[in-house]
Amino acid sequence: MPPVSQSDLKRVRALHQKKARVEAGRFLVQGRKVVAELLASTWDVEAIYATEDAARFVADAARARRAPVNVLPAHELERLGTFEKGNELVAVAVSREQAKFRLPAPGELVLALDGVHDPRNLGGLLRIADWFGVKRVMCSQDCIEVTNPKVVQSAMGSMFRVQVRYAQLAAELSECAAAGVALYLADMGGTSVYDAALTRPAVLVLGSESHGLSDVLRALSAEVLGVPRVGRAESLNVAMAASALCSEFARRTGAPK
């Protein structure tokens, strides 16, 4: 394999920034766990950059995927990755085209996220969706991008199994409701999820970690659900609330289709 040029490394480093990721249609996947998840998925891999030890770790999986592995000295990897330290394995993955809108299928539960800006919360929400068998997540246009390196890392591979789509939420949720899909809005002041009648197909809508649901979504005809507070904690963040709500959906309505 020919040596990696400085222009190649510069192009990879540029993927630290959203503008470059959008223009190139590429994003970074880092660390042994998440790169292994990438290689086990159906997502396209352009190239892998690794120290000698990390290259051995991914050799078989990369060979099976025909993904070129470029061995670099540790100091080059430190500049290539976004971790504060320990950048030993960096893959360049190919972004996917956005899926078209479709209604939830019979028995399906879809999550919709409104204005989630924190990358760790979005990554955590994708892990929760993956854990509970939710295959699709709709995001408002102002949610943080799913290919942000912190989101990719926080999702721990779940983003390769859960379809994420950015949408005009109000319009598409209205279309869902018109088709008979149950809409549920998550809010601290809502009806206890343990007392509410839960049905599928359904969309569970969760608001941002700091501002909650937007007014336009609150105006939708939907049932408002909450997780009842027993102790004295002030609030749950969006990922915590999603976990409790999805758990009750799974308990009472069975596995998603």
- The domain spans of the chain are 6-94, 109-253
3-class DSSP state for residue 36? helix
Q: Where does the chain show beta strands of DSSP type E?
A: 26-30, 45-50, 69-71, 89-94, 109-113, 136-140, 163-167, 182-192, 202-206, 223-226
What are 31-83's pLDDT values in tens digits?
A: 999 999 999 999 999 999 999 999 999 999 999 999 999 999 999 999 999 99
What are 73-103's pLDDT values in tens digits?
A: 999 999 999 999 999 999 999 999 999 999 9
When pLDDT is cut at 50, 70 and 90, the band that residue 256 belongs to is low
How far apart CA 210 and CA 190 sit, in angstroms, is 17
Is residue 210's pLDDT more than 80?
A: no
How far apart CA 157 and CA 160 sit, in angstroms, is 6
What are 116-152's pLDDT values in tens digits?
A: 999 999 999 999 999 999 999 999 999 999 999 999 9
CATH class of the domain comprising 6-94: alpha beta
Q: What is the mean pLDDT of the chain?
A: 95
What does DSSP say about strands 109-113 and 163-167: parallel, antiparallel, or unpaired? unpaired
How far apart CA 248 and CA 31 sit, in angstroms, is 33
What are 174-198's pLDDT values in tens digits?
A: 999 999 999 999 998 899 999 999 9
Is residue 257's pLDDT more than 70?
A: no
CATH class of the domain comprising 109-253: alpha beta
Prediction pTM value: 0.95
Is residue 255's pLDDT more than 70?
A: no
Higher pLDDT among residues 221 and 205, named by residue: 205
Share of the chain above pLDDT 90, in %: 91
**Angle of the 32-40 helix axis to the 52-65 helix axis, nearest 10:** 10
